[in-house]
């Protein structure tokens, strides 16, 4: 099994990351990626860029260092109503919307509140994937949320950074998420959550988890560029024609 898409990466624009788009793309090429999603933090996160940053990603070439570049955002889940901090007029310019809980934006609450928020995010239809769900600060009803994600065809991310120590306690939770997700038919995505170019395309911990939980490659959209692009096209996002050379 090989991952050829990294669906979660940050640049200096996120405010607490340390590499540029070009540096991340170069690292992606060196690590054998075919596609890289740019997912700087949306504007509610401290230090994050103005929404113009996301709307203007059209100036970034579709290929850098031979790697296809997808214009995205890591949106913040704002409240139990499932609102995210991406304006609809900005979303029109994006290929990929990942949504996550972040402590500075959504103060950790009860499992019921987190579950309600995630279910409403899924129902909104505005989000392609849920990021780093293994965070123990945001416990939730795994069965309800994962079943809803599978039904709505919203991807569930397995986050390499979480498994490598950035969110202590994520490992057993991510294993359980993978196991339940497999039972209910979830499709998974893989994000390095790189905040420095060195980590782009690094998935050692994700690979070990998928092998341990015996997740079939066909359930992981990032094992094939055409599979990932087909997923985006099914959601009305990026036309495959822009990346025809990868299909």
Q: Does 16 count as an annotated binding residue? A: yes
10 is in an annotated binding site: yes
Average pLDDT over residues 101-117: 98
Based on DSSP, count helices (H) and strands (E) in the chain, helices before strands.
Answer: 9, 8
Q: Does 8 appear as a known binding residue?
A: yes
Tell which residue, 39, 57, 54, has the closest CA to residue 155. 39
Domain span at 166: 5-246
Distances (CA, A) of 87 to 50, 51, 93, 107, 170: 11, 8, 10, 22, 30
> Would you say residue 110 has pLDDT above 80?
yes
Q: Is 132 annotated as a binding residue?
A: yes
- pLDDT, tens digit, 9 for 90 and up, residues 139-195: 999 999 999 999 999 999 999 999 998 899 999 999 999 999 999 999 999 999 999
**114 labelled as ligand-binding?**
no
Q: What is the pLDDT of residue 245?
A: 83
Q: Please work out, in degrees rounded to the nearest 5, the angle formed at the alpha carbon of residue 154 by the alpha carbons of 148 and 157.
A: 110
- Number of compact structural domains in the chain: 1
Write out pLDDT tens, residues 180-239: 999 999 999 999 999 999 999 999 999 999 999 999 999 999 999 999 999 999 998 877
3-state secondary structure of 190: strand
| Confidence band, pLDDT 50/70/90 cuts, at residue 84 | very high
User: Is a pLDDT exceeding 80 seen at residue 14?
Assistant: yes
CATH number at residue 15: 3.20.20.140
193: annotated binding-site residue?
A: yes
197 Cβ neighbours under 8 A, 6+ residues apart: 18, 19, 23, 24, 26, 27
Does the model's pTM come out above 0.85? yes
Is 195 annotated among the ligand-binding residues?
Answer: yes
- Give the Cα separation of 237 and 243 in Å (integer): 13
Residues 6+ apart with CB under 8 A from 193: 8, 9, 10, 131, 132, 159, 160, 161, 162, 166, 199
């Amino acid at each position: 099994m090989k991952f050829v898409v990294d669906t979660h990466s940050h640049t200096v624009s996120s405010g607490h990351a340390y590499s540029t788009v070009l540096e991340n793309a170069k690292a992606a090429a060196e690590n054998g990626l075919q596609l890289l999603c740019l997912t700087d933090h949306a504007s509610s996160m401290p230090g994050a860029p103005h929404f113009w940053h996301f709307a203007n990603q059209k100036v970034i070439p579709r290929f850098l260092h031979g790697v296809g570049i997808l214009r995205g955002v890591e949106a913040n889940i704002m409240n139990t109503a499932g609102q995210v901090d991406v304006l609809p007029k900005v979303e029109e310019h994006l290929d990929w919307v990942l949504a996550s809980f972040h402590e500075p934006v959504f103060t950790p609450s009860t499992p019921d509140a987190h579950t309600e928020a995630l279910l409403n995010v899924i129902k909104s239809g505005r989000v392609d994937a849920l990021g780093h769900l293994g965070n123990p600060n945001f416990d939730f009803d795994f069965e309800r949320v994962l079943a809803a994600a599978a039904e709505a065809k919203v991807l569930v991310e397995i986050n390499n950074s979480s498994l490598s120590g950035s969110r202590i306690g994520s490992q057993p939770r991510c294993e359980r998420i993978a196991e339940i997700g497999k039972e209910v038919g979830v499709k998974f995505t893989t994000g390095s959550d790189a905040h420095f170019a060195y980590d782009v395309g690094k998935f050692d911990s994700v690979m070990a988890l998928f092998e341990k939980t015996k997740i079939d490659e066909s359930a992981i959209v990032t094992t094939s560029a055409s599979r990932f692009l087909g997923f985006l096209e099914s959601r009305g996002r990026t036309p495959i024609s822009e990346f025809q050379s990868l299909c």
